[in-house]
Amino acid sequence: MKKDNRKKRLSIIGAGAVGTAAAQWAVCRSIADTIVLLDVVAGLPRGKALDLFQTSPLYGYAGNIVGTDDYADTAQSDVIIITAGLARKPGMSRDDLLEKNVRIIREVTEKIVKYSPDACLVVVTNPIDAMVYTVFKVSGFPKQQVVGMAGVLDSARYRTFIAQALAVAPSDVTALVMGVHGDHMLPLVRLASVGGVPIEGLLSKDEIENIVRRTQHGGAEIVQHLKTGSAFSAPGLAAVEMAQSILKDEKRVLPCAAYLEGEFGVSGVFLGVPVVLGRNGVERILEFSLAPNEQEALQKSVEAVKKQVAATGL
Ligand code: TXD
């Protein structure tokens, strides 16, 4: 295959906690020649980008880092990570949040597509399954170019807890979380393994149940500790893992929110499923047979996502 030597541009919309972490991980992994950090609050991305740029001599990143509030600076991006939006504040319902973030995501999408009609869009903003649907509808992009980040993070949490319980290297744990990013997510037990050995033979039923429950509430556990914000390091790296696979055409198999048209018996919504991520975005969805209890659990995810999508009014 011919190597693609064109300079790569990654833009990150929203210079908050997750956007900044993503920019840092993108620098560490040198995944693009130019990294653009954009926010509505003009000084914020400028200051953060400059600070990050000054790590270059220490870290050895040789690319450019731009902080801006001008979408023209994102032009010709190959990948755009969208983290812009509000987090839930006390007294705010999920529906309130959804309505506000739909408005923000709609505006952001209209602006980015004008400058980067060929970009792959990696959506991070919550409620993720509705926001990625919003980006898809507003952009008018082919389904391959729009993907949501949740499964990579949820699976990383799942793998961490399994590794901890078994005192083994986390990178040797293979485990998949499918479905919605919420209480009804589906950490698959049957397919979880360490070095090829199924965890069901290594951990008790109770231990596995606790791990599954902790994974499903992994975000809330961190919010409880932080009080004023939510997780950012692992979410930032999870988004970068996806961006890297696209930018470098790695064909990684990662759980992502992809638009389904019949796969797993589901149509017309984005849902967390294993996909092959490469230069063209979602290049393939890896469909496989679910056990009846897994299919039933996935159905709960679908119902939760459909409710969210209906609330977007799109
Ligand atoms: O698994 C996942 N998908 C998630 C999602 C994991 C972690 C965080 N998740 C969600 O990502 C979270 O619930 C939020 O909806 C987003 C971003 O989280 P973050 O913690 O980074 O929020 P911040 O720190 O509040 O940052 C949001 C930034 C902030 O700087 C705003 O000024 C900016 O978004 N913002 C905008 N930028 C550009 N354009 C517009 N219109 C805009 N509105 C706000």
Domains and CATH numbers, the chain: 9-148 (3.40.50.720), 151-312 (3.90.110.10)
Q: Which residues of 241-260 are buried (b: 16+ CB within 10 A; e: fewer)?
A: bbbbbbbbbeebebbbbbbb
Q: How confident is the model at residue 1 (pLDDT cuts 50, 70, 90)?
A: very low
What's the alpha-carbon Rg for the chain, to the nearest Å? 19
- How far is the C-alpha of 115 from the C-alpha of 113, rounded, in Å? 5
Average of per-residue pLDDT across 68-86: 98
Instruction: Of 96, 87, 93, 102, give the one whose Cα is nearest residue 133.
Output: 102
Ligand 1: atom nearest CA of 18 is 21
Cβ of 126 less than 6 Å from ligand 1:
yes
Residue 62, C-beta contacts closer than 8 angstroms, at least 6 positions apart: 30, 56
Question: How far does the centroid of ligand 1 lie from the alpha carbon of residue 16, in Å?
Answer: 6
- How far is the C-alpha of 227 from the C-alpha of 137, rounded, in Å? 34
Cβ of 12 less than 6 Å from ligand 1:
no
Atom 36 (ligand 1) nearest CA: 84
| Model pTM above 0.95 | yes
Query: Which pLDDT score is estimated for 96?
Result: 79
A 10 A CB-CB count for 155 gives 26
pLDDT digit string, tens, across residues 264-306: 999 999 999 999 999 999 999 999 999 999 999 999 999 999 9
Cβ of 168 less than 6 Å from ligand 1:
no
Atom 43 (ligand 1) nearest CA: 85
Instruction: Of 124, 130, 87, 97, give the one whose Cα is nearest residue 13.
Output: 124
